[in-house]
Amino acid sequence: MNGLQELLCLTPFRILVRIAMVGKYTGLSDSYLSVLKALLHASVYCHRKLVVDWVASTDLEDSTKIEAPDAYKAAWNLLKSADGILVPGGFGDRGVQGKILAAKYARENNVPYLGICLGMQMAVVEFARHVMNLPHANSTEFDPNAKTPCVIFMPEGSKTHMGGTMRLGSRRTFFKVADCKSAKLYGNADYVDERHRHRYEVNPDMVPEFENAGLKFVGKDESDRRMEIIEIPNHQYFIGAQFHPEFKSRPAKPSPLFVGLIAASSGQLDKVLQGCSNGHVIPGKHQFSNGPYTPAAHQNTNGHAKKLANGVANGTYYPNGNGVHA
């Protein structure tokens, strides 16, 4: 047993934090293993027991309401019962409308949200459609002839050769807004190096329109043309990253953006940001309590709280206190 495992076994994390993981591969949880581990690292940092509710993004869509109403109702109950929402990366158009709906719910209801890669892009599309009143906004990945292409194929990419055409590996992101949440979580750094894996990006020609409407691009690459981090300033925690922060998360060094999500989802974000502003870089010194915090009410498909043997309702329970899953 290593030092971290010993610490976890001695620390009684009594309060749950529920995160809705909205994706298209939820039937095989290993598809999101890196994301799951990053959530666990962050929940340990915040002294919370992690419960992940797997939500198939297709089940949130209107077509499922007609074809499988029970699945539709169950998916929305899970989403609405979550303390925070995470939309990870992915490829292909299946389930993207459900991801857009998840981002919309989080934005409109002030629920902590973290979108990664495609999850960021779909948050941008959602904002364009429902805040900027651009109903035809889309990614050219899903509609090559989109009337409002707010996510586009990277100019330097090849549309005829799939191999070796992705923007991969560690790339530098420069913070453009000093007092944004993401910059604070990274210890008020001027820039960060994070790993990438994508072919599509936010259309830089639309950035002024987005920012005038309230969506801020707080992180960009060295050219100022590639958007790396989005935030909605008046939302308690609504962040999207074009990169994959989960790839660099470690048990003793959790990803700052994942820490932000868990902290916001458990009522601790102000304390975390204050600590970062005082010069503490995650995972520096922090003071978290095991209570009191009242999480969102959790319901099953009948509208009533459902308790399992371990006291956890409707989710995959990760015992990061006793029985280490990190």
Whether residue 119 contacts residue 88, with contact meaning beta carbons closer than 8 Å, is answered with: yes
Whether residue 85 contacts residue 22, with contact meaning beta carbons closer than 8 Å, is answered with: yes
Residue with tokens 């969102």: 296
Whether residue 293 contacts residue 266, with contact meaning beta carbons closer than 8 Å, is answered with: yes
Residue type, 214: G
Residue 308, φ and ψ in degrees, nearest 5:
-95, 180
Task: Respond yes or no: is residue 235 known to be catalytic.
Answer: no
Task: Respond yes or no: is residue 286 known to be catalytic.
Answer: no
Name which of 166, 194, 177 is nearest 256 in CA terms.
194
How far, in Å, CA of 203 to CA of 272, rounded? 32
Active-site residue, selected from the candidate residues 41, 196, 235, 244: 244
Name which of 252, 254, 324, 283 is nearest 9 in CA terms.
324
What contacts 24+ positions apart, CB below 8 Å, involve 153-158? 153/199, 153/200, 154/198, 154/199, 154/200, 154/201, 157/199
Active-site residue, selected from the candidate residues 141, 194, 246, 276: 246
Task: Respond yes or no: is residue 246 known to be catalytic.
Answer: yes
Active-site residue, selected from the candidate residues 46, 117, 150, 180: 117
Residue type, 137: A
Catalytic residue set: 117, 244, 246
